[in-house]
Amino acid sequence: MKLADFATPLFQANPYPTYEALRAAGPLVTVAPNSMISGHYDIVDKVLHDRRMVHNFEESVRKRYGEDGLNQPVLQGLGRMFLLINPPVHTRLRSLMMKAFNARQIESMRNIAEASAQRLIDRFAGSGSVDLVSAYARPFPIEIISRMLGVPIEHADKLSDAMEHLARMLDATPVDAAQLAASNDAYQTLERFFAEIVATRRKQPGADLISMLITVEEDGETLSEDEIVANVILLYLAGHETTSNMIGNALIALQRHPQQFDALKQDLTKLPNAIMECLRFDGAVQLAGRTASEDTEIAGIEVPRNTLIYLSLGAANRDPAKFDHPDRLDIGRDLPRVITFGGGVHHCLGYRLALLELETALGALLSRLPGLVIDGIDRLRWNGRTSLRGAASLSAHW
Please answer whether residues 370 and 341 qualify as being in contact, where contact means their C-beta atoms are separated by less than 8 angstroms.
Answer: no
Lowest mean pLDDT among 18-27, 99-108, 336-345: 99-108
- Residue closest to 261 by CA, chosen among 286, 245, 281, 244: 281
Q: Does the pLDDT value for residue 235 go beyond 80?
A: yes
Q: Please list, residue by residue across 189-198, b when 16 or more beta carbons sit within 10 angstroms of its beta carbon and e when fewer do.
A: bbbebbeebb
Q: Is the pLDDT of residue 292 over 90?
A: yes
Q: Are 333 and 277 in contact (CB under 8 A)?
A: yes
pLDDT at 5 over 80: yes
In this predicted structure, the answer to whether residue 1 has a pLDDT above a threshold of 80 is: yes
Percent of the chain with pLDDT over 90: 67
pLDDT at 89: 87
What pLDDT does residue 222 have? 85
pLDDT value for 293: 95
CA distance 28 to 44: 10
> 225 vs 397, which has greater pLDDT?
397
Domain 3-378+390-394 sits in CATH at 1.10.630.10
Contact 162, 151 (CB under 8 A): no
Distance CA 286, CA 275 (A): 16
Of the two residues 104 and 356, the one the predictor is more confident about is: 356
* Average pLDDT of the residues in 199-217: 90
| Res 98: pLDDT | 83
Chain center to CA of 300: 31
Mean pLDDT estimate for the chain = 92
Per-residue confidence (pLDDT) for residue 13, from 0 to 100: 93
pLDDT at 60: 82
pTM of structure: 0.93
**Which residues contact residue 219 at a Cβ distance below 8 angstroms, ignoring those fewer than 6 apart?**
none
Query: What pLDDT does 296 receive?
Result: 96
pLDDT band at residue 241 under the 50/70/90 scheme: confident
The average pLDDT across 114-139 equals: 96
User: Does residue 313 contact residue 249 with C-beta atoms inside 8 Å?
Assistant: no
Q: Percent of the chain scored above 70 by pLDDT?
A: 100
Say which range, 73-77, 272-276, 318-322, has the weakest mean pLDDT: 73-77
167-177 average pLDDT score: 86
**Does the pLDDT at position 102 exceed 80?**
no
- The pLDDT value recorded for residue 220 is 83
Pairing type for strands 308-312 and 301-303 reads: unpaired
Domain boundaries of the chain, sorted by first residue: 3-378+390-394
pLDDT value, residue 257? 97
* Spatial separation of the C-alpha atoms in residues 247 and 270, rounded to whole Å: 16
